[in-house]
Amino acid sequence: MSYIYKPGRRELYEQIKNYAGVVRGRVLDVGSSSFPRYKNLFDFTEYVTMDVAPGADVEGSAEAIPFPDASFDAIVCTQVLGDVYDLRAAFREFYRVITPGGVALITENLYDSLHGEPHDYWRFTEHSFRRLAEDAGFAIETLERRGGYHSVIAQMRARYWIERLAAHRRWFARPMSITLRILGAWARLRDRHDTSRANKLFTHGYLLIVRKNRETSLHS
């Protein structure tokens, strides 16, 4: 199976890289699968991967993390929460297993095609992210959108044609990837120059960085 460029995936990588410095110490990657895609971006003393499927260091779900209170200095959870049914339980668990003063770096989408069915449950606005984090007791440090109208459309078209043509398994995967890279770069350039309110209404999704209160060990 060949890799094919997608504008949204590239923007996600760059966004996480930009904020990777907040992730330090003992880190838990929630929903990592067997391949922790962004591990190389972080400076850590220990990196523990967790997923509901075999292949990670530990099997476990975001709603019931199998570690004691205050076990990790940071949590990384990228593009996972849309597949987690009980979001409030997941945020409570994040708060519970993070040490006082620790952080969580979380990303998810607003616009995306169906995937991982039947366990594809949610899409996220900045307002839902804010409510979930604050209700769990976290302080929000960063809540940043990712991309605008032009790159969202480029991403949707890319995903559609990759799926329609089963392109990952076809001989034209590489030239298609090159074409999508060029079109994606053009779309991102248009987003940078389009400062309209209309453009700001569209985004791939959000990056959220939250911190646990240093004076409490568990939010009740």
Q: What is the pLDDT of residues 115-170, one digit of tens each?
A: 999 999 999 999 999 999 999 999 999 999 999 999 999 999 999 999 999 999 99
Tens place of pLDDT per residue across the chain (220 aa): 789 999 999 999 999 999 999 999 999 999 998 889 999 999 999 999 999 999 999 999 999 999 999 999 999 999 999 999 999 999 999 999 999 999 999 999 999 999 999 999 999 999 999 999 999 999 999 999 999 999 999 999 999 999 999 999 999 999 999 999 999 999 999 999 999 999 999 999 999 999 999 865 444 3
User: From CA 60, how far away is CA 30, in angstroms rounded?
Assistant: 9
What is this structure's pTM? 0.94
User: Using DSSP, how many helices (H) and how many strands (E) does the chain show?
Assistant: 6, 7
Q: Which fold has domain 7-148+203-211?
A: Rossmann fold (3.40.50)
Domains of the chain by residue range: 7-148+203-211
Q: In what order do the strands lie in the sheet with 139-146?
A: 58-59, 46-51, 26-30, 72-78, 98-109, 205-211, 139-146
Where on the phi/psi map is residue 195: left (φ > 0), alpha (ψ -120 to 50), or beta? alpha
The answer to whether 100 touches 112, Cβ cutoff 8 Å, is: no
